[in-house]
Amino acid sequence: MVLYTTGHLRLDAATLVFATSLLAFSLAILSALLARGASSKRLGLHEWSASLAFASFAFLLFFFRGKAPWVLTYLVANLAMLAVVPFTMLAYAKLLQVEAPVSSVALSTAVGLSGVLAVYFLETDAQFGVFSMSMAIGFQLVLAALMVAMAPGRHGAQWRVVLNIIHGLSALAFFVRAGMALNGQAILVSTVANSPAQIVALCVAALYFTVATVVFIVMVSQRQHREMSDRLRRDGLTGLYTRTAFFEMAVAKPHQWQAGGYALVLMDIDNFKRINDSYGHAGGDAVLAHAARMLSQLTRLSDIAVRYGGEEFCVLLHDCSAEEAGRFAQRLVDEAGRQSVRIKDGRNVRFTFSVGYACAPDGQTRGGIESLEAVIDCADQALYAAKAAGRNQVQSSSGIPACNDVALAV
């Protein structure tokens, strides 16, 4: 099949193979240039660029079939093709922060490789090579689609769907090709075989490289944007959310913390001024950073840990009973008492926490931000009570008369 347009312009296998190589090469350069930014490196653009470079190289070698040595245009070209999807998966692993299915990839690569080696060295029928390569790449495309579909989070959901449509379409093209090989109709990628199957497969390849690269770059830029806005909401010294960001988040997504009830835990490092006086401001900073790390380790992903003031922290425990909040608060005090912070001059600094907490049980959380402010106020009074009672301890707001049924009271 040759899709003619006018005059000398024709869309045949030779044109398509060369154009696909050029297209993949241009997209590889674009991805490599975008990967030059420090933050882009760890988002998988290098791997994406490598995958396209392998594809471009393979298609260029296919283009020279019949004019260059068979070792290059068959063996090396197919080895390059076998590297394309695994590098794509490495890129997804970085961007979506998931594990690549290494053993399944290795197994499918071995299947593809065995077919190619058998054809090249043992002069087995060429259809065996086409079948094993097509099955291997089709299977790897399905694995890539599963990685994209099963990655945690719902960010860029519509783009993931587009990616998976194109993965599915490409996998289907490879499985059809494998089926044709079984039926004895398979053709090698060639510039002279202009069968409809060949033309369609080449068009699908060009479509795959273009759409998948555009979508990948969009997803990279979305993640960069998310990370940048998250960084702006965090305190530079401790990495915890700032007080302003905390209230913005609480107002924006009340259902995320109200559902199931919540507890608000406020904690303050005891006699912090003395720590600053004894160990210097840098020593004090090291204690703050250590305390924040400890806090992050003890909280769940659904909780919100905040640097509430100078040496004061707060945690919103989502879906949490009063007993659980009490245990969490006591754990903070115990851990702080157990740990010490090694500062730059080699000295160890010990610190303690005073903690106050208040709860808004499930069913009493309808007051929105006003209710949250009331709960914080009660946790603050409990913290004050802990300080007044001698520090290094936990107090609950339940003993404070004004704080009973606090969420209902507002």
Ligand X SMILES: Nc1nc2c(ncn2[C@@H]2O[C@H](COP(=O)(O)OP(=O)(O)OP(=O)(O)O)[C@@H](O)[C@H]2O)c(=O)[nH]1
Stretch that binds ligand X, among 26-34, 62-70, 242-250, 264-272 (CB under 6 A): 264-272
Binding of ligand X by 273 (CB under 6 A): yes
Q: Are 17 and 203 in contact (CB under 8 A)?
A: no
Contact 41, 95 (CB under 8 A): no
Structure tokens at 101: 């299915």
Residue 337 as a binder of ligand X (CB under 6 A): the answer is: no
d(CA 235, CA 288): 11
Helix (H) or strand (E) holding 305: strand 304-307
Amino acid, single-letter form, for residue 287: V
Contacts of 379 (CB under 8 A, 6+ apart): 264, 265, 266, 314, 356, 357, 358, 397
**Residue 310 binding ligand X, by CB under 6 A:** yes
Contact 129, 71 (CB under 8 A): no
Q: Can you tell me whether residue 78 is helix, strand or coil? A: helix
Q: Is there binding between residue 382 and ligand X (CB under 6 A)?
A: no
**In this chain, which stretch among 53-61, 209-217, 277-285, 295-303 interacts with ligand X, using CB under 6 A?**
277-285
- Residue 363 gets the label, from left (phi > 0), alpha (psi -120 to 50) or beta, of left
- The least CB distance from residue 270 to ligand X, in Å, is 4
Tell me how far, at minimum, the Cβ of 47 lies from ligand X, in Å: 40
Q: Does 303 bind ligand X (CB under 6 A)?
A: no
Nearer to ligand X, 196 or 390 (CB): 390
Residue 281 binds to ligand X (criterion: CB under 6 A) = yes
Distances, alpha carbon 23 to alpha carbons 28, 233, 355, 372, 409, in Å: 9, 40, 61, 55, 66
Residue 285 binding ligand X, by CB under 6 A: yes
Site pattern 146..185 for ligand X (x: CB under 6 A): ----------------------------------------
Return the number of the residue (285 or 319) whose C-beta is nearest ligand X: 285
Least separation in angstroms between CB 384 and ligand X:
10
Contact status: 272 vs ligand X (CB under 6 A) = yes
Asked if 268 is part of the footprint of ligand X (rule: CB under 6 A), the reply reads yes
175 versus 272: smaller Cβ distance to ligand X: 272
Q: CA 395 to CA 348: how far, in whole Å?
A: 28
> Between 354 and 396, whose beta carbon lies closer to ligand X?
354
Which parts of this chain interact with ligand X (CB under 6 A)?
Answer: 237, 268-273, 276, 281, 284-285, 288, 310-311, 387, 391
